[in-house]
Amino acid sequence: MPSLKHEKLCLAPVAGVDEAGRGPLAGPVVAAAVILPPKGIPRGIDDSKKLAHADRARLHDRLRACAIVGIGIVEAEEIDTLNIYWATMKAMTLAVEALGCAPGHVLVDGNRLPKWGFAATPIVKGDSISLSIAAASIIAKHTRDTIMLAHADAHPHYGWHSNKGYGAPDHLRALREHGPCPLHRRSFAPVAAAYRARETLLV
């Protein structure tokens, strides 16, 4: 289970940062920054991938009520312009800036850091080690899932209610049969192939 071991070694306030949505074929990449309260931290915080949807939703709401939270969102069109790596770095930067206060230190999930002026430490598998990063993973994942569910009814072919934009078989099949929509990332190979196929049919 994640703990505050790393946070205790850093200058307060410490913000944990994580992202959701690097791999999907559609929708934004979302990053969250979270500064946990000194007391009253919700129990059950863990890597968002290990939590059931209902537990993520409950912890998301409790964290939004007690922690300082910043969210950064980069949409599909900008992902295609920047590439997914730099779009993720931008989302993380936006999330820290959205905190409304300067953190003393930032703990970031992964092995790379955005180019910013904050003291920061990357932690591989940080969402399983650091409580602040795990909290950020919950906020980022729940926020992105909510965005994709909000678009699912408008684009029913792709199965976003279940796959949230990832390349699941039903999503890939719909790409081949119906082509991409404006929320798809044109720079991602399966989407680019679907665009080429549609253009061939129109010639």
18 is in an annotated binding site: yes
Rounded-to-integer distance, Cα 99 and Cα 96, Å = 5
Query: Is the CB of residue 10 less than 8 Å from the CB of residue 123?
Result: no
Rounded-to-integer distance, Cα 61 and Cα 32, Å = 14
160-174 per-position pLDDT tens digit: 999 999 999 999 999
Rounded-to-integer distance, Cα 66 and Cα 181, Å = 38
Amino acid at 18: D
97 is in an annotated binding site: no
| pLDDT at residue 195, rounded to an integer | 87
> Which residues of the chain, if any, have pLDDT below 70?
199-203
109 is in an annotated binding site: yes
The structure's pTM equals 0.96
Burial class (CB in 10 A: 0-12, 13-18, 19+), 169: exposed
Domains and CATH numbers, the chain: 7-152 (3.30.420.10), 157-202 (no CATH)
Query: Is the CB of residue 197 less than 8 Å from the CB of residue 172?
Result: no
| pLDDT at residue 157, rounded to an integer | 95
